[in-house]
A and B are shown apart, each in its own frame.
Chain A
């Protein structure tokens, strides 16, 4: 089955800086790559996703890039704000969603 690895496990940045989280996947047939944000005690919420036929997607301060050849994808958050602090999960999907281990992002004011 699909195996998703995510790095780093924790990330601390200063407000206004950029944050980058990276994931790799094992199954080249995976065709959908969402990113979820989970605040403490709350549900995972989809923040951005990308399909395998697209290399990059941007939504305001958030962007995702996909390199199918290398089987990795990344989340980029620019101009970080304290409210961006949360755990971020990447996932890869062929038949079902498999999550990475998560990255705890802390944005310091």
Chain B
């Protein structure tokens, strides 16, 4: 398995909702990442997990809460989002943090209404 799988592919949520994005990989990668991509913009780093521990938080608002239950899974919990949080959320993994070869998932397209 050489893929990063993200679910759901599309999500529409209200500003008072709580939802979660899921990411899974079975390549034995020990680093996993969340990126946010707005239309016509490059992906922006949000969080980095290395060996299931949060390594980097790029000053992301607390309404985004990451979780890494094990080495294969990465979640992003969403609560009280704003319409400007609507974007494509991409998960990626690599063999180790600070090593090359990111593999991206297909992303979750999130719309906040």
Listed in ascending order, the chain A residues whose CB lies under 8 Å from chain B are 32, 34, 36, 42-46, 49, 51, 89, 93-102
| Count of residues in B whose CB is under 8 Å from the partner chain | 21
Q: Which B residues touch A102, using CB under 8 A?
A: 40-42
Q: A45 and B100: CB pair below 8 A?
A: no
Q: Which A residues touch B43, using CB under 8 A?
A: 44, 89, 99
In terms of DSSP, what is the predominant structure of the interface of chain B?
loop
Q: B102 and A34: CB pair below 8 A?
A: yes
Question: In the complex, A13→B97 CA distance in Å?
Answer: 37
Question: In the complex, A93→B100 CA distance in Å?
Answer: 8
Q: B100 and A32: CB pair below 8 A?
A: yes
Q: Give min CB distance, B41 to chain A, whole Å.
A: 7
Question: In the complex, A1→B42 CA distance in Å?
Answer: 16
In terms of DSSP, what is the predominant structure of the interface of chain A?
strand
Give which listed residue, B40, B45, B105, contacts A97 with CB less than 8 A: B45
Give which listed residue, B44, B48, B107, contacts A43 with CB less than 8 A: B107
Q: Which A residues touch B45, using CB under 8 A?
A: 96-98
Give which listed residue, B41, B92, B102, contacts A101 with CB less than 8 A: B41
Q: A99 and B42: CB pair below 8 A?
A: yes
Q: Which A residues touch B104, using CB under 8 A?
A: 36, 43-45
> Cβ of B106 < 8 Å from any Cβ of A?
yes
Q: A43 and B105: CB pair below 8 A?
A: yes
Q: Give min CB distance, B95 to chain A, whole Å.
A: 12
Lowest 3 A-B CB distances belong to which pairs?
A99-B42, A43-B104, A32-B100
